[in-house]
Amino acid sequence: MRRLRPAGIRTIGIRTIGILAIGFTAWIADSTAARAQGVLPPTGVDTRVGDLRGYFTQAFGQLPTDATTHGWTYSAAIDASETYDTGVPVSSNGGTIQAHDLITRIGPSIGITGDSARLVGSLFYSPTLNIYAIHGNQNNISHNLNADVTATVVPDFFFVDLRAYAAEQAINGFNGPANTTDVSSSNEELTTSFSVAPTLRHSFQTLANAELGASLSRTEISANNQVQTSTAEAVNQNFTTEEAHATVSTGEDFGQFSDSLSAQASTSSGTGNLQGATSSTVTNTFSYAATRTIVLTASIGHEDYSYGGSNPYVVDDVTWSGGLIWTPDPDSNVSLGYGHQQGGSSFYLNASYATSAFTRVYARYSQGIGTEGQNLQNAVNSTTVNSSGVLVDRATGIPVSLNNNFFPTQPGLYRTTSASVSGVLLWPRDLFNVGLQYQETTQLTSGFSNTPGSSSSSSGEFVSFSWEHDLSEDLHANFSLQYGVNSGSNFGTNGSTGNQGSILVNAGLTYAISETLSTSFQLTYTNQPSYTGTNNNSYTGREIAVVSIHKTF
């Protein structure tokens, strides 16, 4: 998949560091309303990375925060590449084998971003035509869309948010970051999510604030027609969610004290566990600013979740939490605590800490329940797209990866625990990232009377390192390393059990021929488990070479 680079912004290598930095570090915001709906991000690959180096340059204070001028910016580009892959997964005799192939990719792209008095937003769309020289049945078009627009209908009162997302992702796990591992049609699914959310907001001077809103969201996960039928039946999902919420909170008159009462209700119609699913929550959150840097928080409420399908699952419980928010400086924020929600108790952590003017450390720990599609929908609706094309959390502004290519797609309803920690170091000519990510899932119900390839539980973790370096004004190098292990009972869709691991090494060069034309060369080696799942100790080495050219207009 190719990403749109905004005109006038020079990218360095493939945006490998972007995947790594946002993949471990920044999940979605930890707000009460979001957590109440199960917001853990799904697996797969994010839609677009954008100019992450530019994002960090601005975030670290090396560019002014108002670097983006008012008005609208339009950009267009086209990418063309040749890929030689020694391990393309293809269907054969009812199973999957890995074969050599030469793949031609052509990807036009368009970007629109900016703001005006009534309209603010960004749209990036990049379809890619994939042509396989030997296995022509793998030919396909990959869609990559990320758009977020806010329309001000009545200033300071009535707003409408529009959100659109589409991306191809791998079904089986153990795949590397985007642009380092080819995902063939026999192992690919298209994820899409669209929503419209009108909202009324009003401030009663400095006494109180009120918000009343609704949303209509449509989400689909659809396997490519080359995917085996049993696997497609397991991972395909589609549903529509109607949601309404209301919030009343105190204003500045209350000084160090604040209180917020929120209510939310939603209903879904679709396949599996989301067939006739409903949810309702009422939460009162209290906070007290103990010092200039520490805010103490506590909440109490009630939740009622009902998941449908042939194996329903119900949660009817009291919710509570207690914690603190620490803001030692303008560039650091740490939110941590312990609470009970969605039928389980756990710690939560969402931290971004500036250890120096050139470094950031991110950490995240969360637990929640949801289906693959539901997690995707909630994650899309809680993120936005900035002017650099980087996907960021609406509440914190931290870069976010909606999907991760290492963990497999799993059907049914799961309780998922995820933890991540990473660090970013930015120098004038270098960008370093190192991180660790862990994910554990426990299936609560399959949602179907007979779900092929379903999993009871799984766990996995991977560690990554990446480095980007400017060799000169026009020549740039990138390097990344990833190693991970997955374990579980029948995890993923390949029918395998036990512990399995994989390693990926990627290196590349990018040369800027002119301000609008660049070329790159990438080499990848990965050692993945056998796709057949018949031998847990069977691993297949895979080499991938990519030569590409990028032209902006």
In the block, residue with structure tokens 């390393």: 481
- Flag whether pLDDT at 532 surpasses 60: no
Helices and strands: H and E segment counts in the chain: 5, 26
Which has the higher per-residue pLDDT, 330 or 44?
A: 330
Give the pLDDT band of residue 539 (cuts 50, 70, 90). Answer: low
pLDDT, greater one: 295 or 226: 295
Measured at the alpha carbon of residue 147, what is the angle toward residues 146 and 150, in degrees to the nearest 5?
Answer: 155
Lookup result for tokens 């920690």: 421
Rounded to an integer, what distance in angstroms lies between the CA atom of residue 443 and that of residue 458? 9
Q: Quick one: which of 366, 458, 482 has its CA closest to 409?
A: 458
Nearest in space to 311 (alpha carbons), one of 266, 265, 274, 268: 274
Beta-sheet pairing, 140-142 with 145-154: unpaired
Strands 158-170 and 391-393: unpaired
CB 319 within 8 A of CB 299: yes
190 secondary structure, DSSP code? E
pLDDT, position 318: 97
**Local structure of residue 451 (DSSP, 8 states):** -
Cα–Cα distance, 305 to 163 (Å, whole number): 25
State both tokens at 200: 């009324």
| Helix axis angle, 16-25 to 52-59, nearest 10° | 60
Beta bridge partners of 507: 479, 523
pTM, 2 dp: 0.82
pLDDT at residue 25 is higher than 50: no
* pLDDT greater than 90 at residue 453: no
Q: What share of the chain is helix, strand, coil (3-state, %, to 5)?
A: 10, 60, 30
The tally of CA atoms less than 13 A away on the side-chain side of residue 330 is 5
Q: Which residues contact 1 (CB under 8 A, 6 or more apart)?
A: 45, 107, 126, 128, 142, 144, 168, 178, 179
Weakest-pLDDT range from 342-356, 385-399, 431-445: 385-399
Tell me the three-class secondary structure of 40-79, residue by residue. Answer: CCCCCCCCCCCCHHHHHHHHCCCCCCCCCCCEEEEEEEEE
With 0-12 CB in 10 A as exposed, 13-18 as middle and 19+ as buried, what is 246? middle
- HSE-CB for 216 with a 13 A CA cutoff: 3
The number of angstroms, rounded, from the C-alpha of 150 to the middle of its chain's C-alpha atoms is 21
Domain-by-domain residue ranges, the chain? 16-552
Determine the Cα–Cα distance for residues 455 and 441; give it in Å rounded to an integer: 9
Q: What is the pLDDT of residues 230-288, one digit of tens each?
A: 778 778 889 999 999 999 999 999 999 999 999 999 999 998 888 899 999 999 999 99
More confident residue, 348 or 186: 348
> Considering the domain 16-552 in this protein, what is its CATH number?
2.40.170
pLDDT level of residue 529 (50, 70, 90 thresholds) = low
- The pair of structure tokens assigned to 180 is 């380092």
Is residue 536 left, alpha or beta, with left meaning phi > 0 and alpha meaning psi from -120 to 50? alpha
The burial of 291, by beta-carbon neighbours within 10 Å (0-12 exposed, 13-18 middle, 19 or more buried), is given as: exposed
Per-residue pLDDT at 375 = 87
Q: Residue 160 forms beta bridges with which residues?
A: 151, 198
pLDDT band at 498 (very low <50, low <70, confident <90, very high): low
Q: What is the mean pLDDT of residues 45-58?
A: 57
Q: 490 CB contacts (<8 Å, ≥6 apart)?
A: 453, 454, 455, 456, 496, 497
pLDDT of residue 39: 34
Question: Which range among 28-37, 46-55, 275-284, 402-411 has the greatest average pLDDT?
Answer: 275-284
Report the 10 Å Cβ neighbour count for 546: 22
Question: What residues contact residue 258 under an 8 Å CB cut-off, 6+ apart?
Answer: 249, 250, 286, 287, 288
Q: Are 399 and 383 in contact (CB under 8 A)?
A: no
Q: Provide mean pLDDT across the span 436-457.
A: 71
pLDDT at position 42 over 50: no
Give the separation between CA 213 and CA 280, rounded to whole angstroms. Answer: 15
Q: Tell me the mean pLDDT in the region 507-527.
A: 94
